[in-house]
Amino acid sequence: MKIVVGLGNPGKKYERTRHNAGFLAIDELARNARIELGLEKCHALLGKGVLGTEKVVLAKPQTYMNDSGRSVAALLKDAYATASELIVLHDELDLAAGTVRVKTGGGHGGHNGLRSLIEFLGTADFVRVRIGIGRPVPGMDTADYVLSPFFAEEREAAAAAITNAAEAVRVIVAHGITKAMNQFNQK
């Protein structure tokens, strides 16, 4: 079983923001796989189903970004799963808007959601699907930037990235991380 977690912040105020790219990708994945995100457990909205032939749990932690690790650690414990069965979808400042990259392990790179996961799980060795949101314009505060919606000229690329991130998860589950990296990490 794979535990697939999208990072973001709950509530209407945040739902279309850059920082919620992970939530948006989970919504896309759930919609395409016909998995309802109706269960509330472990401080998260959950949906259980199948991607290809693999059982999955899709989750959107409701603890807010900076405390995501608390929810994810509880999810793994509840499912008797380890970090090796975890796939995390998250926004990434260091990638241009519309870009998707797949990796395993690494640091948190200043991302507070990843920092929380690493702290609570005691490891950074989990699969990540990184959804590019680009950097703020000079003079704009980074926190304000990630908590704002995509600019009009970015929306098409952002929507494509959300779709590609969901597809990356399907490839990881069906064919493994190497195939996904080869497909999505092309320059």
Active site residues: 19
Burial class (CB in 10 A: 0-12, 13-18, 19+), 159: middle
Residue 91 near residue 14 (C-beta atoms within 8 A): no
Supply 168's token pair. Answer: 């990356």
Cα 152 to the chain's mean position, in Å? 22
> Sign (positive/negative) of CA torsion 153, 157, 162, 165?
negative
Q: Which residues pair with 40 in a beta bridge?
A: 45
